[in-house]
């Protein structure tokens, strides 16, 4: 046996041939300059977060540590519980918390459902809500009195969007999910580990494809030019920024937020930076992750630095086996994305 064969045999004997995928946690060997930012360069408004399960005092501590001026809680409560959630954060600090309401589909089979919804919306706004969110249950699970799946662009819902315009509040849409969630959960799915841990997040085989759901959403936006819309999660087009560009070019009444999509934007830094530079007045900062200092600081590093190949802010289970690159945005863009754009919607 040659020396090379002996070496290969020795290495093979030491290697763990059947290493489970979940145990494979490679560490990058790149040696690069790193910038770990403790606070954002400018004051920040986190326009997209979910704080129902968190104590306001703890959120304020994190906000103070990271330079977060204001956080918008998108409550997932409805009815009287939603009103109590608005009161809870208003009592903690009315200047630093705001609340977006959650679309209530209870009683959707009632013939007077739309009229009931308009009353609910007025009640939320009177209590201090600064918007209303339509979630992905619309188009995927909500059914009408006939048992048919309710379309996102169902014309029966039109008065609700008109009412939002009348009340001066934006409508946030999250009516789809990442592309991988609509694909089979198999060896070709780049978010296999995440979906294997949460198979209920998968929508492969859903009645409407992701494209159909987004097309339905866009028809609503087109029908209601006086209503301001926010497309959550880069309008669910983080993997297809060309679609996000078309949406923003076509409809001047649309904003997008970047919540929970640093992972997608940061692995295509050239295209992502071009998006920010082209639409600096239409992009909102949002985290959509429970407030933690380390989480916000990764967002700041992503937006402000030119660092390469580092972790993205995420839930406990990462979204995919890749790292991201910083966008190194100019100060005038950072000011708008961090704060100024959100202020226009919170007036």
pLDDT in tens, 209-247: 999 999 999 999 999 999 999 999 999 999 999 999 999
Q: What is the pTM of this model?
A: 0.94
Secondary element (H or E) of residue 7:
helix 3-14
Average pLDDT across the chain, whole number? 95
Domain around 82: 45-345
The CATH number linked to 58 is 3.20.20.140
Task: For residues 179-183, give the mean pLDDT.
Answer: 97
Structural domains counted in the chain: 1
Residue 8 has pLDDT above 60, yes or no: no
Tokens of 95: 């200047």
Residue 77 is encoded by which pair of tokens? 């409560």
Instruction: Tell me what pLDDT residue 14 has.
Output: 57
Q: What is the pLDDT of residue 15?
A: 57
**12 has a pLDDT exceeding 80:** no
Q: What is the pLDDT of residue 186?
A: 95
Task: Specify if 263 maps to a domain.
Answer: yes
Give the per-residue pLDDT at 17: 67
Domain assignment of residue 187, yes or no: yes
Helix (H) or strand (E) holding 171: strand 171-173
The arithmetic mean of pLDDT across residues 142-158, rounded, is 98
Find all residues with CB under 8 Å of 103, minimum gap 6, and list them.
117, 132, 133, 134, 135, 138
Domain membership flag for residue 121: yes
Average pLDDT over residues 4-17: 60
Domain annotation covers residue 25: no
Distance between CA atoms of 295 and 248, rounded to whole angstroms? Answer: 28
pLDDT digits (tens, 9 = 90+) for 187-204: 999 999 999 999 999 999
Residue pair 62/68 in contact by the 8 Å Cβ criterion: yes
pLDDT of residue 49 exceeding 60: yes
Q: Which residues contact 310 (CB under 8 A, 6 or more apart)?
A: 34, 298, 301, 323, 324, 325, 326
pLDDT score of 33: 87
Q: What is the pLDDT of residue 86?
A: 98
What pLDDT is stored for residue 75 in this prediction?
98
Q: What are phi and psi of 283, to 5 degrees?
A: -115, 135
Which residue has tokens 């910083």? 326
User: pLDDT band for position 16 (50/70/90)?
Assistant: low
Mind listing the pLDDT tens digit for each residue in 269-326? 999 999 999 999 999 999 999 999 999 999 999 999 999 999 999 977 788 999 999 9
| 283 in any annotated domain | yes
- Is 12 domain-assigned? no
**Beta carbons within 10 angstroms of residue 149's beta carbon:** 15
Residue 34 lies in a domain: no
Q: Under a CB-based contact definition with an 8 Å cutoff, are residues 75 and 101 in contact?
A: yes
Q: 142: which residues sit within 8 A by CB, 6+ positions away?
A: 105, 108, 149, 150
**CA atoms within 13 A of residue 347's CA, in its CB half-sphere:** 7
pLDDT of the residue at 315: 79
Q: Which of 26-40, 49-63, 82-96 has the lowest mean pLDDT?
A: 26-40
Higher pLDDT, 319 or 42: 42
Domain membership flag for residue 70:
yes
pLDDT > 70: percent of the chain: 95
């Amino acid at each position: 046996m040659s020396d090379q064969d002996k070496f290969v045999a020795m290495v093979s004997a030491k290697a763990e041939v059947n290493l489970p995928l979940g145990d494979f946690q490679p560490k990058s060997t790149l040696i690069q300059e790193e910038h770990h930012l403790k606070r954002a360069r400018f004051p920040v408004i986190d326009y997209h977060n979910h704080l129902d399960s968190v104590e306001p005092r703890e959120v304020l501590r994190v906000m103070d540590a990271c330079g977060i001026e204001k956080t918008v809680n998108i409550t997932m409560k409805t009815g009287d519980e939603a009103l109590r959630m608005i009161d809870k954060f208003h009592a903690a600090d009315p200047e630093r918390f705001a609340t977006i309401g959650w679309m209530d589909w209870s009683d959707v089979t009632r013939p007077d459902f739309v009229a009931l919804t308009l009353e609910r919306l007025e009640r939320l706004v009177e209590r201090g809500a600064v918007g209303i969110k339509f979630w992905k249950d619309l188009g995927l699970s909500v059914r009408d009195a006939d048992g048919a799946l309710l379309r996102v662009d169902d014309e029966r819902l039109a008065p609700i969007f008109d009412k939002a315009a009348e009340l001066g509040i934006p409508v946030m849409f999250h009516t789809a999910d990442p592309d991988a969630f609509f694909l089979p959960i198999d060896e070709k799915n780049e978010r296999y580990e995440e979906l294997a841990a949460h198979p209920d997040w998968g929508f492969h085989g859903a009645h409407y494809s992701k494209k159909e759901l987004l097309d339905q959403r866009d028809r609503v936006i087109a029908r209601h030019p006086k209503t301001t819309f926010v497309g959550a999660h880069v309008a669910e087009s983080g993997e297809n920024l060309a679609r996000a560009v078309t949406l923003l070019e076509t409809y001047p009444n649309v904003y997008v937020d970047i919540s929970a999509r640093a992972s997608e934007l940061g692995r295509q830094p050239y295209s992502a930076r071009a998006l920010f530079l082209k639409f600096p007045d239409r992009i909102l900062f949002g985290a959509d992750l429970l407030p933690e200092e380390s989480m916000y600081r990764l967002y700041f590093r992503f937006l402000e630095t030119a660092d390469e190949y580092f972790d993205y802010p995420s839930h406990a289970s990462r979204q995919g086996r890749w790292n991201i690159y910083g966008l190194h945005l100019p100060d005038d863009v950072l000011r708008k994305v961090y704060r100024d754009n959100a202020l226009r919607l919170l007036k």
